[in-house]
Amino acid sequence: MSRRHLVITGPTASGKTRLAIELARLHHGEILSVDSRQVYKGMDIGTGKDLEDYTTGGSPVPCHLIDVVEPHEDFHLYKYLKCAKAALDDVRSRNVLPVLCGGSSLYMNALLDGYAMEGGEPDEALRQRLEALSQEELLALLTAKASPELLRRTDTSQRRRIVRAIEIASQRNGERILPPLENPLILAPLYPRQEIRQRIENRLRERLEHGLIEEVRRLKEHGLSWERLDWFGLEYRYVGAYLRGELDRKTMTSELFNHICNFAKSQDTWFRKMERDGKVIHWVPAGDVETADRLVRLWLEDAPLPPPSFRLSETFYGPVQHMSSI
């Protein structure tokens, strides 16, 4: 098991977690979450942790990299990869199959391809000094310190990107955090795009019925600013706007739904790029556990895998309809 890594990815609302849990139960696995928001405590409904799924319907499945930090704490790729390395080392040491499950492209790419942190760990002391500078002053400092190549690839419209680029320019040495994953099998639930939209609509309705608004209100009451909640993504941004009285509930729900659907489309772009870059994704119709299990068993036996019968990079989707009503 120590040289194998089962990867479950796919668009939002496609049932990644359910499939990962079933496969972990069947193959003595433990799940490592690859989600940039599920690391935060107290953010359960909006991030879709579905914690009860890990303990119901069969034997409990251990899960790592969920509820790692408080929502007011800074957490970034470097810290995630440090935690992921520790979790992977632990799982491998017990001869357990690592099942990496999630759809956060930055984190997943860093795990699959390996990652060297350019410039090393974020420099909090430097960041505090830079906080006093205006964006114009930061740009001037970056121009003075950065190489032409670093300057060219820095998004200078975002203050935090400028700050990170200054850090990189100031810290000459990088750090190899993780090598590329050995022998990954990548599976992803497959649904027609219109069905994904329906699943997004159903899931949003359930989250609203089961306390999403109350979760956002509670986080605000516990000290998070509206700006911080906006930073956590769509659900927290739009529910926050509703709680501030900027949107009525119907408009909030409609706009949130449409933006989540757009996010799902952007994930398709990432999966297409993965395939074009040579990664093999086995798309599993409707996330069927038996189909996925057959592939996993062949892989564990070192038997040849059938070529994928579907490639997203070779598929064109036509126009889709808007939401019905929630």
- Given a contact cutoff of 8 angstroms between Cβ atoms, the answer to whether 165 and 159 are in contact is no
Range of the domain at 86: 5-114+179-314
Number of domains in the chain: 2
Percentages of the chain per state (helix, strand, coil), in multiples of 5: 50, 10, 40
CATH number for the domain spanning 284: value is 3.40.50.300
Distance CA 287, CA 14 (A): 8
Whole-model pTM? 0.82
320 within a domain of the structure (yes/no):
no
206 within a domain of the structure (yes/no):
yes
Residues 14 and 147 reside in one and the same domain: no
**Distance of alpha carbon 157 from the chain centroid:** 24
* Secondary structure (3-state) at 118: coil
Residues 151 and 190 reside in one and the same domain: no
Instruction: Say which amino acid occupies 299.
Output: W
Residues 157 and 221 reside in one and the same domain: no
Contacts of 200 (CB under 8 A, 6+ apart): 12, 13, 257, 260, 261, 264
Q: What is the pLDDT along the chain (326 residues), one digit of tens a residue?
A: 558 999 999 999 999 999 999 999 999 999 999 999 999 999 999 999 999 999 998 999 999 999 999 999 989 888 999 999 999 999 999 999 999 999 999 899 999 998 766 666 677 888 889 999 999 999 999 998 888 878 888 888 889 889 988 988 887 555 667 889 999 999 999 999 999 999 999 999 999 999 999 999 999 999 999 999 999 999 999 999 999 999 999 999 999 999 999 999 999 999 999 999 999 999 999 999 999 999 999 999 999 999 998 999 998 765 444 444 44
